[in-house]
Amino acid sequence: MAHYTKIPEGYVSALSLRETQQAIKYIKDLFQQSLSFALNLDRVTAPLIVASDSGINDDLNGVERKVAFSMKEIPYEAEVVQSLAKWKRMALYRYGYKAGEGIYTDMNAIRRDDDANNTHSIFVDQWDWEKVIRREDRTVEFLKDTVRAIVKAVVYTNRRVKLRFPQLHAEIAETPYFVTAQELEDRYPDLSPKEREDRVCAEHGTVFVMGIGGKLKSGAPHDGRAPDYDDWSLNGDLLVYNKVLGGAFELSSMGIRVDAASLRAQLTEKGATDRYAFAYHQMIDRDELPLTIGGGIGQSRLCMLMLEKAHIGEVQSSVWPEDTLTICAEKGVKLL
């Protein structure tokens, strides 16, 4: 079996198990308040399960298997969400939110086909957020301004955490460096997308890689992205340099969402125009859903970074392959 988990030599957690749990709560309480203030978001309740034929669940890269099941008294199949990208936009429409207003929620999901390693678990916990925008806001500059606001909330939270737990020393660059996926490919043509991210994050600390999902000049995308929520020309990943793991570390995937024109173009490119059978896609095509920007910010990822942890299992409780358990035990890494 391939070992996906690698613990850095000499790694020792700065916090005990009890301190870790206290710090996780502190980070989550503080950051969601900071994010809500920065983007003008209301907290809402969101689903863990949706109907399998609703078209609301996130298809991620289009190949991941969803966790689905039948129910005792309901005649259709349900499935556990993989993210809430589509549900949030529908919620903004149903709740009557206006431009400049938005929502966020604690999103828990199961992604059964994710590789379990230092930074990935089949259990996903993130702050999913979505905000109504005007058509004139569908620009790269508006996207950048939103990224800057999120980074400020992250940096503020990190400063407060270090005051509360002075044994922590994580540094997060407050000024994000913006670069497109195509610019990275042009700059580092002989490197893989992940190696390009590692290189640019080592140079700049906090990086937002824009334009993810569509094909680059090489003929391959920088990374996969579903064709029916982000506009591939107006999206990106927020990355920071993680000193503990020695590479790029993704905190958020986000973007301005598709309008009728970009939805049709991206579904056509992916050969997925059959999705117009769903109400969500039809409502975008008829310009009935509000124009929005949104994304997900990893809760465990943020805790990992600020608490200087080497494995995501140190900040969340999940299930792990036997080799991960063995490696962590040998290295003295205590999983929750």
Distance of CA 119 to the CA centre of its chain: 12
* pLDDT tens profile 149-206: 999 999 999 999 999 999 999 999 999 999 999 999 999 999 999 999 999 999 999 9
Do the strands 230-242 and 247-257 form a parallel or antiparallel pair, or are they unpaired?
antiparallel
Do the strands 102-110 and 78-80 form a parallel or antiparallel pair, or are they unpaired?
unpaired
* Domain annotation for the chain: domains and CATH numbers: 17-49+82-331 (3.30.930.10)
Contact (CB, 8 A) for 309 and 294: no
- Give CA–CA dist 328/88, Å, rounded: 37
Class of residue 213 by CB neighbours under 10 A (exposed 0-12, middle 13-18, buried 19+) = buried
pLDDT at position 157 is: 97
Class of residue 3 by CB neighbours under 10 A (exposed 0-12, middle 13-18, buried 19+) = exposed
Which residues belong to the active site? 58, 111, 126, 237, 250, 253
pTM of the entire predicted model: 0.90
pLDDT at position 110 is: 82
pLDDT at position 328 is: 84
pLDDT at position 60 is: 64
* pLDDT tens profile 283-295: 999 999 999 999 9
